[in-house]
């Protein structure tokens, strides 16, 4: 699509908006159209060799409708760091990376799906469904935090699930199930247990 076509498309979207906005769009020399793509979740992040693992968008690119892409990348990194803190020798590396993969794939799949679903809800065509959505979301737009809502981030349960996840606890519990519960301090010595 040419710059002229993009400009005309933008103007058609905002034709009923404030005239000032229309002037800004008309004066813009270039407009970028950033397509969003749905990417199938990967089942495998860790290499068979146990020498590397994908994290962040490389492992689970997602659309932005839940604003959780960076959060997932940070959780991936924290999970990886915590798992690596248990590695005491070369043969522990592969199980550590497989553990990270196991812990993270399930959660990121759910977040990817929730983000896609939220995108569909946010982009409903005008009509009865859109009006019902708007009415249900009105309290959260006015600043209320609902206990439950069928629409995305406007309820406490969804926010707690998104932002209250403890990846370090996940690793501790999973590593202990592997029969490897000793954590290694950055010095290379076992971490001291406090009484």
Confirm if 169 and 83 have CB atoms less than 8 A apart: no
**Sign of the CA dihedral 125, 127, 130, 134?**
positive
Asked if 175 and 116 sit in the same domain, the reply is yes
* pLDDT for res 195: 33
What local confidence, expressed as pLDDT, does residue 184 receive?
Answer: 46
114 shares its domain with 87: yes
- Same domain assignment for residues 26 and 46: no
- Whether residues 103 and 180 share a domain: the answer is yes
Find the CATH number of the domain harbouring 75.
Answer: 3.50.50.60
Residues 14 and 85 both lie in one domain? no
Per-residue model confidence (pLDDT) at position 149: 73
Is 82 found in the same domain as 64?
A: yes
146 lies in some domain: no
The predicted pLDDT at position 194 comes to: 38
Question: Are 53 and 105 in the same domain?
Answer: yes
Q: pLDDT (tens digit, 0 to 9) for every residue of the chain, 195 residues total?
A: 788 888 888 888 888 888 898 888 788 778 888 888 888 899 999 999 999 999 999 999 999 999 999 999 999 999 999 999 999 889 899 999 999 999 999 999 999 998 998 899 888 999 999 999 888 888 877 877 777 777 667 778 888 888 899 999 999 999 988 876 555 444 444 454 433
pLDDT for position 47: 96
Which among 22, 38, 34 has a CA at the least distance from the CA of 115? 38
- Asked if 143 contacts 154 with a C-beta cutoff of 8 angstroms, the reply is no
Number of domains in the chain: 2
Q: What pLDDT is attached to residue 181? A: 56
The model carries a pTM of 0.79
> Which bin fits 152, alpha (ψ -120 to 50), beta or left (φ > 0)?
left
User: Are residues 165 and 106 in contact, defined by beta-carbon separation less than 8 angstroms?
Assistant: no
Residues spanned by the domain of 10: 1-33
Same domain, yes or no: 81 and 8 = no
Domain co-membership, 15 together with 65: no
Same domain as 170, residue 89: yes
Distance CA 32, CA 50 (A): 40
């Amino acid at each position: 699509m040419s710059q002229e076509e993009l400009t005309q498309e933008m103007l058609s979207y905002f034709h009923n908006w404030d005239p000032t906005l229309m002037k800004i769009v008309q004066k813009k020399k270039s407009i970028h159209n950033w397509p969003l793509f749905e990417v199938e979740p990967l089942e495998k992040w860790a290499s068979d060799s146990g020498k590397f693992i994908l994290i962040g968008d490389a492992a689970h690119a997602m659309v932005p409708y839940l604003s959780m892409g960076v959060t997932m990348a940070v959780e991936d990194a924290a999970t990886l760091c915590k798992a690596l803190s248990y590695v005491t020798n070369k043969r522990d590396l592969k199980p550590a990376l497989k553990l990270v993969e196991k812990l993270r794939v399930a959660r990121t799949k759910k977040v990817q799906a929730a983000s896609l679903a939220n995108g569909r809800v946010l982009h409903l065509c005008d009509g009865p469904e859109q009006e019902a959505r708007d009415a249900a979301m009105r309290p959260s737009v006015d600043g209320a935090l609902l206990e439950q809502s069928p629409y995305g981030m406007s309820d406490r349960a969804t926010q707690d699930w998104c932002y209250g996840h403890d990846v370090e606890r996940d690793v501790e519990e999973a590593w202990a199930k592997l029969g490897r519960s000793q954590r290694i301090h950055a010095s290379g010595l076992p971490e001291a247990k406090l009484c």
